[in-house]
Amino acid sequence: MSNSFLAAVKERRTYYGLSKDVVVSNERIQEIVNEAVKHTPSSFNSQSARVVVLFGEQSDKLWNITKETLRKIVPADSFAPTEERIDSFKSGYGTVLFFEDETTVENLQKQFAAYADNFPIWSNQSSGMLQFVVWTALEQEGLGASLQHYNPLINEEVAQTWNLPSEWKLLAQMPFGKPTFTPGDKEFQPLENRVKFFQ
């Protein structure tokens, strides 16, 4: 794939093995996230995405919250694999939290009532695009990442811990850091079963 964008899309992978080793500066990560949030499209140019980036001990705090929340609902005799998984996310350098501003979405529903049912769907689609842009851009900097969804279980405590507006709805968590292993080969279903072209 000669196109650099498609090459970046192809190279992006899920990394579960992460370390806290510094790969790029916090300032560079901030620049990536700011550019992604600014330029990722949203329906009606709503710009409803909200993002929080946690570095170091702040990221550790998130995964401690997640672990203790899950400890309350996962049976103790089967908690070890859950704890191991959460600790693998905690071992990374930081975490990106993706939110959508529900007030923005609700205002659009009122303003354009004919499309009211679609705005939450479009909001999720826009967030998915943003997540992919950030994920791919981090990988281009030599960082590994994965996408996690411990919401809504942790939503309330996350909002309280970082004093976030109540209208920010947490949708995904992206732990990132220096990769500690290379993912295996990826298997693909036949494209002819997934894509159709008409000329």
pLDDT in tens, 145-187: 999 999 999 999 999 999 999 999 999 999 999 999 989 999 9
Cα separation, 75 vs 62, whole angstroms: 21
Task: Report the distance separating Cα 128 and Cα 122, nearest Å.
Answer: 10
DSSP 3-state helix, strand, coil percentages of the chain (rounded to 5)? 50, 15, 35
pTM over 0.75: yes
Q: Mapping DSSP to helix (H, G, I), strand (E, B) and coil, where does residue 95 land?
A: strand
**Residue 2: per-residue pLDDT:** 55
Q: Could you write out the DSSP letters of every residue in 138-183?
A: HHHTT-EE--B--TTTTHHHHHHHTT--TTEEEEEEEEEEEESS--
Chain CA centroid to CA 48, Å: 15
Q: Is 116 helix (H, G, I), strand (E, B) or coil?
A: coil
Confidence of residue 196 (pLDDT cuts 50, 70, 90): very high
Q: To which residue do tokens 């190279």 refer?
A: 11
Span 87-91, mean pLDDT? 98
What confidence category does residue 3 fall into, taking pLDDT thresholds of 50, 70 and 90?
confident
Distance CA 72, CA 118 (A): 35
Q: What is the dihedral of CA 128, 134, 140, 144, to 10 degrees?
A: -90
Residue 121 pLDDT exceeds 70: yes
Structural element, H or E, at residue 55 = strand 49-55
- Mean pLDDT, rounded, for 66-87: 97
Q: If pLDDT is split at 50, 70 and 90, which confidence band does 106 have?
A: very high
Backbone angles phi, psi at 52, to 5 degrees: -125, 130
The residue-averaged pLDDT of 88-110 equals 98
Cis upstream peptide for 152 (omega within 30°): yes
